[in-house]
Structure 1
Amino acid sequence: MHVGNYLGLVHHSEQQLSNALMMVASHHGDEPDITQTCKLLASWSRANIESLKPLIERYAEEKSDEPERLTQVLFKEPRTGSLALLRNLHDLWLLANEVQLCWMVLLQAAKALRDKELEATCVSCSGQTKRQVAWLMSRIQQAAPQTLVVA
């Protein structure tokens, strides 16, 4: 059984997403909504990580450095300015979708295993991730015309 592989992947992906959200919050403090919303979204990822603890105890966890490597590629160095904000939001969206995909894969495993606890955790955490993705998409749509046309 390979559930531990995806538990490790989602655990570390959530951690990288939380870290990246906090980094973007600190680099774009001049945008009124970015700092507070990114901090809130990061707290949701940290809560999702906490939800994983009983599942990791049951199924174990295979460590994965894939999420860290992805983050290193996306966020090589700090960026500033309006184009930088748009690129950072784009990269956050990519990370959040990675997390969302992990939750979907685990949900399918939970159904196959008839593990109601794993299923409930996947549904709950996936819901939070969907909200993160939706906010990022909305913020990208807001920033794109102003950044690409007005700049």
Structure 2
Amino acid sequence: MNLAHYIGLLENSEKQLTEAFEYVANKHKDEVDIEQVCLKLSAWSREHHGRIMPFVEKYSEDHESEPASLKRDLFTKKRRGSLALLRDLHDLWLLTQEAQLCWIVIRQAALGLRDEDLKSCYQFCNTRTKRQAEWLLGRIKQAAPQTLLVA
């Protein structure tokens, strides 16, 4: 069964998302909303990670934790200036899309297995992951005009 692979992928994605939200919160402390909201969203991803762990154990097989370095690859450059915030938010949005897609795939498996606990976990976590992505997209739209047009 390949479910273990996707659960491992999701577990790793939520872990990286937790770390990335914390990174952006600390890096952009001068933007009060960024710091506060990113810390809250980091806590959500930390909780998602905790909620998926019983399923990692339940369906465990030897699996690779891919993408092991997605966060590192996205946040590679020492960004400065007004573009830094926009690019960091963009990278966070990409990470949330990875997690959201994993949740959707896991839901399909939960339906096939008739695993009510896994479906419930999906329902709770995916709703929040959507909210993470929506907040990021809104904040990106807010930051883009000034960042791109006012140098």
**What is the aligned partner in structure 2 of residue 33 from structure 1?**
33
Report % sequence identity. Answer: 51
1:40-67 Cα offsets, whole Å, 9 max, x none, are 0000000001111221221115543433
Q: Which moved more, 1:112-121 or 1:61-70?
A: 61-70
Aligned equivalents of 1:76, 1:24: Cα separation in 2: 13
Displacement of 1:73 after TM fit?
Answer: 1.5
Over residues 15-39 of structure 1, what are the superposed CA-to-partner deviations in whole Å (9 max), with x where a residue is unaligned?
0011011111111111120111100
1:124 aligns with 2:138: no
Shift of 1:78: 3.4
Amino acid at match of 1:137: L
The answer to whether structure 1 residue 146 and structure 2 residue 127 are counterparts is no
Deviations 1:117-144 (A, max 9, x none): 1111011110110010000000000000
For structure 2, the 5+ residue unaligned runs are none
Indicate the larger mover: 57-66 or 46-55: 57-66
Per the alignment, residue 66 of structure 2 pairs with 66
**Structure 1 residue runs of 4 or more that deviate by more than 6 Å after TM superposition:** none
Counterpart position of 1:100: 100
Residues 8 and 64 in structure 1, CA contact (< 8 A), matched pair in contact too: yes
Preserved contact between residue 8 and residue 62 of structure 1 (Cα < 8 Å): no
5+ unaligned residues in a row in structure 1: which ranges? none
Q: Which amino acid aligns with 1:11?
A: E
* TM-score normalised over the length of structure 1: 0.95
Aligned AA (2:125): C
Q: How much does 1:8 deviate? A: 0.5
Whether the 8 Å contact between 2:83 and 2:147 is mirrored in structure 1 is: yes
